Structure 1
Amino acid sequence: MIVAVLRRMGNPLVRGCDKLEAALLVVAALVVLTAVPVALTVGSQAYAGFAAQSREQHASRVPATARLIASVPDAIGDADRFRSVDAVWLLPDGSERRGTVGADAGTPAGTTVPIWLDRSGNPVPPPIPSGDVVWIAIGVALFLWLGVVLVTGLLVCAAHVALERHRATRWARDWSALSHASR
């Protein structure tokens, strides 16, 4: 494709705006192709960072079970399905801690729910699953590359529209000049 475009650019019948558009297409293709190794590098760095974070979280957090002291009110809407409620749980040293944990709406008092604790015994979000790290990194790389493709495509479309307007204006001007010359 690129070779065919370059061959046409040498034709003396090809207008300057057509040559410009062909050159923009070649540059756009090169940008999209160059974005692949860049996206892979960023994805690899994301993998290393999230893998280290996952390892650190797994090393510093322990699973535990909390018993709800109060019932969780029913949900009002879909966004309200997970709510905070008072609960008690045992720390690794055997002492009891009281605080707030998250539980599904409508859960009755006395129900046990799984939680994760930091080194101080406070509830924290669960660690990033090590199996999810690969998918997160793939998502980062793919999102970056698709972003480059989208922006490049939008710029090419904008240039095409502008060049089409230019061609239409010149075409109308040339026809007008021909029309006046023939009178």
Structure 2
Amino acid sequence: MRAAIGVWRWRHNPLRRTTDLIEAWVAVTAVLLLVLAAPAAGWIAGTGTDASLQRAVRAQNLQRLPTTAQVVRLSDVPAPGLRSPESTAEQPARRSVVARWTAPDGASRTGTVATRRDLADPGDTFRLWTDRDGRPVPAPMRPETAHAHAIVVGLLATALAAVFVEAVRRLVVRRLVHRRYRRLDRAWAKAGPDWGRTGAGS
């Protein structure tokens, strides 16, 4: 940031090096990108993700239908929804039961599904989502859940863009510093043999 402020101060400074000016303009560009481009990237990513997820929500609501299922008995085998590693956290709150429900075509279906533990006694009823063939499926995503996912994506895109800008700035500054050192080494190599002798009477 000091380099960015120095762009104005160094305009007529006789000690200003070309690398100083380049570093200052790189800092100014990085600040502008962090303030404008990074949030814009996050906004674009977030709105795009939200639009895509909202389309998925509408499609799921068309393809998945709610029905009422009745518990027949507890199941000895886990329901398909409780077999995956992703559902491990939900297992303490859910039970596998054999339930009966009516498919969209009016046929009676029976199968093993997962329900809340407080609705796992025989005769209890609970909401079950099925596809158009009557097979149990997960509930459709809620619009607010889609919005939350989109916000996370937008924030992540903003952070990644900011990290990228800062990484590029640091890389450029590092190369400029190395360039200064090389110039200093060359200047020192020219003046080094006369160091301490000039004007000393030796």
What corresponds to 1:14 in structure 2? 16
What corresponds to 2:144 in structure 1? 131
8 Å CA contact 1:66–1:90 kept in 2: the answer is yes
8 Å CA contact 2:50–2:147 kept in 1: the answer is yes
What is the DSSP-based 3-state SS (H/G/I as helix, E as strand, rest coil) of the residue aligned with 1:116?
A: strand
Counterpart code for 1:91: T
Structure 2 vs 1, CA of residues 178 and 102 (structure 1 numbering), >3 Å: closer, same or farther? farther
What corresponds to 1:51 in structure 2? 54
Structure 2 vs 1, CA of residues 79 and 36 (structure 1 numbering), >3 Å: closer, same or farther? closer
Structure 2 vs 1, CA of residues 17 and 89 (structure 1 numbering), >3 Å: closer, same or farther? farther
8 Å CA contact 1:8–1:14 kept in 2: the answer is no
Pairwise mapping of residues 18-33 of structure 1 onto structure 2 (< 5 A)? Answer: 18-32=20-34, 33=36
What do you get for the CA RMSD once the two structures are aligned?
A: 3.6
Structure 2 vs 1, CA of residues 58 and 80 (structure 1 numbering), >3 Å: closer, same or farther? closer
Alignment of 1:169 with 2:182, yes or no, is yes
Normalization by structure 1: what TM-score? Answer: 0.72
Counterpart code for 2:22: L
Alignment of 1:90 with 2:65, yes or no, is no
8 Å CA contact 2:99–2:110 kept in 1: the answer is yes
Structure 2 vs 1, CA of residues 173 and 44 (structure 1 numbering), >3 Å: closer, same or farther? same
8 Å CA contact 1:72–1:103 kept in 2: the answer is no
Structure 2 vs 1, CA of residues 159 and 69 (structure 1 numbering), >3 Å: closer, same or farther? same
Q: Which runs of 5+ in 1 are unaligned?
A: none
Counterpart code for 1:124: V
8 Å CA contact 2:4–2:24 kept in 1: the answer is no
Following superposition, the deviation at residue 4 of structure 1 comes to 2.6
Alignment of 1:4 with 2:5, yes or no, is yes
Pairwise mapping of residues 78-117 of structure 1 onto structure 2 (< 5 A)? Answer: 81=88, 87-92=98-103, 93-98=106-111, 101=113, 115-117=128-130
- State how far apart, in whole Å, the 2-side matches of 1:80 and 1:132 are: 18
Q: Among 130, 138, 141, which residue is 2:154 paired with?
A: 141
8 Å CA contact 1:61–1:118 kept in 2: the answer is yes
What is the DSSP-based 3-state SS (H/G/I as helix, E as strand, rest coil) of the residue aligned with 1:90?
A: strand
Following superposition, the deviation at residue 150 of structure 1 comes to 0.7
- State how far apart, in whole Å, the 2-side matches of 1:109 and 1:176 are: 89
Identity %: 24
Normalization by structure 2: what TM-score? Answer: 0.66
What corresponds to 1:121 in structure 2? 134
- State how far apart, in whole Å, the 2-side matches of 1:60 and 1:79 are: 23
